[in-house]
Structure 1
């Protein structure tokens, strides 16, 4: 339900967004509805906003506009007052979280805007005059006639202010993109759980969701229901290699373009969403089962044990 509109300018206003039209020099992170962005898709957003021409970095917030109250977790007025006049200096990511570092002339320290896209959140850096879409939730109007806009059809995404991203990431595991082999194996040896739920546990490793958990286990030739404490040393090592390869490749290809995940994504899924279709390795039909109460895709032959 549409909430009251809140504005904050230099005299008192606020706003938020992310990029889209590559053909006009604006970077694209568009999703279809019902998507669940995972680490590669969120990293694509970070790179898009930081590296696009024009980039979000170095832009100052002139106005903040909150279109739906519940998109902000915290004090609406404080968010608007703090961000108005502040310049974006950094964009960081950990797991599925984005962190935008802002600083103003009145602030000695950076203040961070944390963003979690959840199911269908999208960030667009667009020309300010672009028509407002139906599901816009928050906008940051910037200099150079740009707007950072947060759209979210289902409305589960959230933004909030933090003084340090570590406050948000303290309960998360290491980031899947930068996780080293030794640390992964050390953490793996501490737990006794089914592999699919373990990979989805953000306190074990941050950033992996349904898509890349299924793809990792397929590449590792491991059944999703297999227990972690049953793995041999070679299997555990192979699991790390598979995770590293899948996440690295997915980031390079800007994520996956299935089930509403970023249209720019080119990651080639082998099992996720392919139930009833032949395995690209052995030809047996891909199955979908529930493991840890989550829909799970796997090959009964390639992942028999």
Structure 2
């Protein structure tokens, strides 16, 4: 599932392409991917210009005139592609937004969605999200961490704790900090809390700079999106040798979620 760096990568790529441009056509092939009748959707969108693209946690918000917006969550398996008709991937497209001869394709929205809301409705939907981890000070992070009574893995996966971090970056930032993700939040000494905070900032920013771990390119010739795949140290590397110490990466399970760590580097 795309996490903060992946959605930030998408937002950065979308802004110069769609902001200020009018939607000339929209095609819906799976009505469950949207939340209003297709006729209402088309009437609201066609002719409207996107005024801003904003990320909130794992969501993207496409702002429209009249205090409306499109709220996107790709969930598991969702991705986007930008290009002309001839560039379109040979995949089933659930939603298409056209900007003249260029199109934004939403693919794999079986669990994900693109919903049309008034601004106040969208804010209610997002009200339970925690803060942006990239905007926290270390003091703010410590306070939030010490209110938890769970494993680090469970805490970071809770979008009410911090918005945007999921399975991959939880395991990766814990590796960066040298702390196992099954440690208890309230039992970490000050020094480990500091290491965890610094690792979180470094890892998320590295993920953004590297284009996240998305499998599919965003446009033809895209060499940036997905660059973090090769930088993963533990996630999805169960049984492989740690690049740092040579020990085998452990793959385990915690509360139904996969968990990866290095027994040599993480104590």
**TM-score between the two structures when normalised by the length of structure 1:** 0.79
Rounded to whole Å, the distance in 1 between the matches of 2:254 and 2:189 is 21
Aligned match of 1:276 in 193, 215, 239? 239
**Contact residue 79 and residue 160 of structure 1 kept, 8 A:** no
**TM-score between the two structures when normalised by the length of structure 2:** 0.90
CA offsets, 1:281-303, max 9 Å, x none?
22111100112221111011211
Which structure shows the bigger proportion of residues in helix conformation? 2
Residue in 1 that maps onto 2:104: 148
Change (3 A) 1:130 1:288: closer
Residue in 1 that maps onto 2:32: 70
**Contact residue 180 and residue 266 of structure 2 kept, 8 A:** yes
Rounded to whole Å, the distance in 2 between the matches of 1:132 and 1:236 is 44
**Contact residue 99 and residue 113 of structure 1 kept, 8 A:** yes
1:130 Cα deviation (Å)? 4.8
1:110 Cα deviation (Å)? 2.9
1:131 Cα deviation (Å)? 5.2
Number of residue-to-residue matches in the alignment: 257
**Contact residue 217 and residue 224 of structure 1 kept, 8 A:** yes
Change (3 A) 1:195 1:60: same
Aligned match of 1:169 in 98, 123, 126? 126
Residue in 2 that maps onto 1:10: none
Residue in 2 that maps onto 1:246: 203
Residue in 1 that maps onto 2:20: 58
Say which SS state the counterpart of residue 302 (structure 1) adopts.
Answer: coil
Considering only aligned residues, what root-mean-square deviation do their CA atoms show, in Å?
A: 1.8
Say which SS state the counterpart of residue 233 (structure 2) adopts.
Answer: coil
Runs of 4+ in 1 over 4 A off after TM superposition: 128-132
**Contact residue 224 and residue 291 of structure 1 kept, 8 A:** no
Rounded to whole Å, the distance in 1 between the matches of 2:134 and 2:183 is 23
